[in-house]
Amino acid sequence: MATTSDVKTRAGARTRPGVLDKPKRATPDAVLDALATQATRLRVRRGQNVVLTLDGGEAAFIVRSGALMLHVTMPDTPRQVVATLFPGDVLRSSFAPPHAGATLTAASQAEIWRVRWTVLESLLAANPALARFVQDAMAAQMARHAVHLAAIGQFSGEQRVATILVELALRTGTPSSAGGLVLDMPLSRRDIADHLGLNADTLSRIMSRLRAAGILGHSERNRVVVRDFLALAGRSPAARCLAEIHSDEGRLLAQIG
C-alpha cells in the first residue's frame, strides 16, 4: 500500500494540492508489529489520565485506537487542549512542556502502546520502516498543530467551531438516513471549548446559532447532526486544508472542492 502511494498522487490532476505531495503514512499495523514485544498495551476509558512518564524517565506512546487529548494548564488560566491524538499518532513525554500542568487524558475508550523512549530510539535505528512511520506521524502532527494554531489565533468563534466540526466530520462522520451527517463526539462541550480557546458558554451560543441557521440539527448528548456540510465547510477557512489532510479517509472531499 505504501509503495503505491506515488502512483496515486501523481496520477491525479496536479492542481497544487499543497506545498507538495504529502508523505503517505505507512500502514500502521504491519510496521508497528515491531513494537509488539516491547510495548505495554494500555487500555483506558474516557476521562482517564495517562501518566506521561515511565519510571520517571521518558516514554513514547503510540495511539492504536480511540482518541486522547494532551492538555496544558498554565497558572491562573483555563486549560488548553494542545493536541488531539488519534490512532497512529505518536507522543513523546518531552512533547509536554515543563511547569505547564500537562496531562494526557483519554477522550474515549482507547488503546495506547507505551515504550520506553530509549527502547524506541534503538528500534528506530534498526528498523527504517518504523523510523519512517514515526517521522511521518510527527510531521502530520506538526501540520495539524499549525492549522490548530492558525484557527485559534485568527479565526472568529464561529469559524473555529465550524473548523472542528468539519474535522470531526471528516474523521468520524457517518451519513444518516435524513441526508445529514452524524458525528459521535468523543469530546464534551467543555473539551471542545478548551480545544478552541473559547469559553464554554460562548461555544454553546455559537452552536445554537448554527442550529438556528439550519446547519446543525438537534443533537443528543455526545452527538451532533450536521444537516448542511457544505455550509459548514463554507464557514471554516480551513476546510480545504483539512480535506487535504484527511484525504486518506477520503470521504466528503469532492464536495468541498
Residues 109-168 close enough to bind DNA by CB under 7 A: 156-158
Query: Residues 6 or more apart from 88 whose CB is under 8 A from it?
Result: 25, 28, 62, 63, 137
The answer to whether 140 and 63 are in contact (CB under 8 A) is no
Q: How far apart are CA 68 and CA 62, in angstroms?
A: 11
Q: If contact means CB under 5 to 8 A according to the sort of partner, which of DNA, its own copies, none does residue 49 touch? A: none
Q: Which of 35, 106, 192, 196 binds its own copies (CB under 8 A)?
A: 196
| Residues 90-129 close enough to bind its own copies by CB under 8 A | 92-100, 102, 121, 124-125, 128
3-class SS at 218? Answer: coil
Choose which of 6, 201, 248, 249 interacts with DNA (CB under 7 A): 201
Find out whether 240 and 256 touch, Cβ atoms under 8 Å: yes
- The one of its own copies, DNA, none whose footprint includes residue 190, by CB under 5 to 8 A per kind, is DNA
Q: Which residue has the cell 463554507?
A: 234
Distance CA 74, CA 103 (A): 12
Grid cell in block for residue 129: 520502516
Which residues, numbered 22-41, are part of the site for DNA (CB under 7 A)?
none
Q: Which of 1, 11, 142, 254 binds its own copies (CB under 8 A)?
A: 142
* Minimal distance, residue 202 CB to DNA, in Å: 3
- Read off the DSSP letter of residue 74: -
Q: Tell me if 111 sits within 8 A of 41, measured CB to CB.
A: yes
Binding piece for its own copies, criterion CB under 8 A, among 168-176, 201-209, 215-223, 234-242: 234-242
User: Using the rule CB under 8 A, is 140 a contact of its own copies?
Assistant: yes
Report what 205 binds from DNA, its own copies, none; CB cut-off 5-8 Å by kind. Answer: DNA
Residues 162/235, Cβ–Cβ less than 8 Å: yes
Query: What residues are paired with 64 via a beta bridge?
Result: none
**Shortest Cβ distance from residue 157 to its own copies (Å)?**
12
**Interaction of residue 165 with its own copies, rule CB under 8 A:** no
Instruction: Fill in the amino acid letter for 41.
Output: R
* CB closer to its own copies out of 87 and 197: 197
Residue among 84, 105, 108, 141 that touches its own copies (CB under 8 A): 141
In this structure, what C-alpha cell is assigned to residue 120? 524506541
Q: Residue 18 touches which of its own copies, DNA, none (CB < 5 to 8 A by kind)?
A: its own copies
Interacting residue with DNA among 17, 23, 87, 197 (CB under 7 A): 197
Is residue 86 within 8 A of residue 67, CB to CB? The reply is yes
Which residues have a Cβ under 8 Å from the Cβ of 190 and sit 6 or more positions away? 200
234 part of the interface to its own copies, by CB under 8 A: no
Task: Give residues in contact with DNA (CB under 7 A).
Answer: 156-158, 188-190, 197-208, 219-222
